């Protein structure tokens, strides 16, 4: 009799728990903005169009160092390896691996910002090269 009441109590707890979980997990609305990053289109302005061929060359040359990233790739970063070890080993009792998860999120956010920055520089250089070809600076 005692086993039967224990089973019934456990089933009741499971049903109530599952009901409260299903109510708590409502699906979010479908976002209307684009999911993936869409780079802004760099427009021409009068200041850029007034540059001479030498000015365009100098501007492109000065932007070359900004085309590259100096951050280690995600899988080669030692901080990410340490964060993964913290999550796996769980050796900090209070935090329980959350610091590692937070650092991995931070690291991927920094890498995404770096990729966006490099893309904007590439677009700017492409615009300047297009202006340079329209002014026939290569002849």
Summarised one tens digit per residue, pLDDT across range 60-114 is 899 888 888 888 888 888 888 888 888 888 766 776 778 888 888 888 888 888 8
Domain range annotation of the chain: 2-134
Statement: residue 20 has pLDDT above 60? no
Contacts of 135 (CB under 8 A, 6+ apart): 53, 56
Between residues 50 and 2, the one the model is more confident about = 50
Among all chains, which residue has been given the structure tokens 């169009």? 49
Between residues 122 and 1, the one the model is more confident about = 122
- Residue 3, token pair as written in the block: 């086993």
Between residues 115 and 27, the one the model is more confident about = 115
pTM reported for the whole predicted model: 0.61
CA pair distance 104, 98, nearest whole angstrom: 10
3-state secondary structure 87-118: HHHCCCCCCCCHHHHHHHHHHHHHHHHHHHHH
Q: How many CB atoms lie within 10 A of CB 19?
A: 10
Contacts of 20 (CB under 8 A, 6+ apart): none
In which band, very low, low, confident or very high, does the pLDDT at 38 lie, cut at 50, 70 and 90?
Answer: low
* Residue 39: predicted pLDDT: 60
Tens of pLDDT along 42-54? 778 888 888 889 9
Inter-residue contact 63 to 126 (CB < 8 Å): no
């Amino acid at each position: 009799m005692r086993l039967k009441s224990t089973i019934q109590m456990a089933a009741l707890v499971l049903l109530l728990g599952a009901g409260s979980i299903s109510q708590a997990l409502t699906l979010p609305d479908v976002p209307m903005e684009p999911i993936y990053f869409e780079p802004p289109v760099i427009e021409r302005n009068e200041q850029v169009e007034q540059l001479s061929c030498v000015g365009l060359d100098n501007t492109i040359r000065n932007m070359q160092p900004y085309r590259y990233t100096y951050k280690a790739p995600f899988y080669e970063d030692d901080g990410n390896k340490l964060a993964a070890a913290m999550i796996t080993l769980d050796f900090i009792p209070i935090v329980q691996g959350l610091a590692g998860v937070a650092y991995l999120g931070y690291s991927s956010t920094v890498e995404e910002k770096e990729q966006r920055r490099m893309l904007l520089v590439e677009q700017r250089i492409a615009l300047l090269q297009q202006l340079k070809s329209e002014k026939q600076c290569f002849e």
